[in-house]
Amino acid sequence: MALATNIDVKSLDEQLENLHLRYMKKKKELHDEESKVINVRAVAAKEVPQEWKIIREKLVVKRVFARGGFGTVHKGIYDGREVAVKMLEWREDGRTKAEIASLKKDFRQEVSIWHKLDHPNITKCIGATTDTDSASVITEYLSGGTLKAFLIQHRKKKLPLKTVKRLAVDLAKGLSYLHSKNIVHRDVKTENVLLDKDGRVKIADFGVARLEASNLVEMTGYTGTPGYMAPEVLESKPYNRKCDVYSFGICLWEMYCCDMPYPNIKFSELTSAVVYKNLRPEIPKHCPSSLAKVMKQCWDVEPKRRPEMEEVVSMLESINTSNNEASIRSHAPSGCFSFFGSRR
């Protein structure tokens, strides 16, 4: 067998050297690209919490003034101002790792949404803290308590129509602002509405709030509080911001009547009655027609027929609260009750 005798060693060395240089260049490019990705992720991970993270040394936590399934709410001082501190314990009640992870995700969602909001009818979120076993949200302290507690105080002697209108307009403006930011609260009820020392309404508790999905199928599930939940939510159908409009209609009835919606019906029966029997709170005969109209439009069974909250603000502001209407209300029967029936 003949052997090749004319091998150009110099040319072969040059080819190998060029291949090596191209390999090293490509390797460096890949390394640089990976470094950019890692740096971007590191910066994002570092910066995202900073916008709502507080300086712990400035926070003084004092007495508990409210308790719930979520944890406790304390009065406190932050940076020289009165605040409310909502504290959560991740590991209470023997929660699993999956449940704790879900709670932490919900917490970050609540704070990230809430902290960016700035409106006179939205409770101001000052910041938050996070630890391995607990977390807390720091908000402005509102001495007026919940709207629900305020209404219960007036259960026997109802509120003047002028006051009902003022409270309703405040709540409607707050919801209109949220919707303008594509935020759906999803748990609008008088317990989640607070009052400041001057009686101004401020929406609170954004635990289940979320940015409105462009694809409605993304927003489904039994979210909220029975009694205030729209039919489509009760049925776990796709929904949008109009579920808040429905809940507002129930709150408006509650503000006018100073009573509980559906006091004589069990939660287990409520879903069927609202969805299939079109149950709504009974509107008293002495209720001004202009106010009753807003209630009925807001709790319409068809979401598309419910007005936008911006429209609700205009409708409420146009309601007449003259002495004639007020005198009709002052001589009305003292109780407002709910009955089964087909109501819109």
Catalytic residues: 187
Place of tokens 């406790």: 72
CA atoms of 167 and 183, how far apart (whole Å): 21
**Strands (DSSP E) found in 54-178:** 59-68, 71-78, 81-89, 125-130, 134-140
User: By the 8 A CB rule, do 195 and 202 touch?
Assistant: yes
CA atoms of 88 and 94, how far apart (whole Å): 14
37-47: string of b/e by CB count within 10 Å (b at 16+)?
Answer: eeeeeeeeeee
Nearest CA among 226, 66, 260 for reference residue 145 = 66
The DSSP-derived string for 1-67 is --------HHHHHHHHHHHHHHHHHHHHHHHHHHHHHHHHHHHHHHHTGGGTB--GGGEEEEEEEEE
**DSSP β-bridge partners for residue 122:** 203
Q: Provide the 10 A C-beta neighbour count for residue 34.
A: 10
292-320: string of b/e by CB count within 10 Å (b at 16+)?
Answer: bebbebbbbeebeebbebeebbebbeebe
